[in-house]
Structure 1
Amino acid sequence: MMYVTNFVYALICTIGFAIVFNVPKTSLIKSGFGGALGWTVFITINHFFQSVVVATFIASFIIALIGEAFAIIDRQPLTVYIIPGIVPLVPGFGLYYTMLSILEENYELAINHGSESIMIAISIAAALTIVLSLNSYRKKRRSNF
Structure 2
Amino acid sequence: MMYINNFIYAFICTVGFAILFNVPKTSLIKSGFGGALGWTVFLFINNYFESIVVSTFIASFIIALIGEFFAIVDKMPLTVYIIPGIVPLVPGFGLYYTMLSILEKNYELAINYGSESMLIAIAIGGALTIVLSLSSYRKQKKKI
Q: TM-score, normalised by structure 1?
A: 0.99
Rounded to whole Å, the distance in 1 between the matches of 2:56 and 2:47 is: 12
Structure 2 residue identity aligned to 1:103: L
Q: Unaligned regions of 5+ residues in structure 2, if any?
A: none
Poorly superposed stretches of 4+, deviation over 6 Å: none
RMSD of aligned residue pairs (Cα, Å): 0.3
Match of 1:116 in 2: 116
Q: Percent identity?
A: 79
Q: Which whole-Å CA distance do the structure 2 matches of 1:115 and 1:101 have between them?
A: 13
**Paired residue for 1:58?**
58
What 5-or-longer segments of structure 1 have no aligned partner?
none
Deviation of residue 8 (structure 1)?
0.2
In 1, distance between residues paired with 2:102 and 2:69?
Answer: 42
Normalising by structure 2, we get a TM-score of: 1.00
Aligned residues: 144
Q: Matched residues in 2 for 1:143 and 1:35: separation?
A: 32
Post-superposition CA distance 1:18-66 (Å, at most 9, x none): 0000000000000000000000000000000000000000000000000
Aligned to 1:48: 48
Matches of 1:143 and 1:52 in 2, distance apart? 39
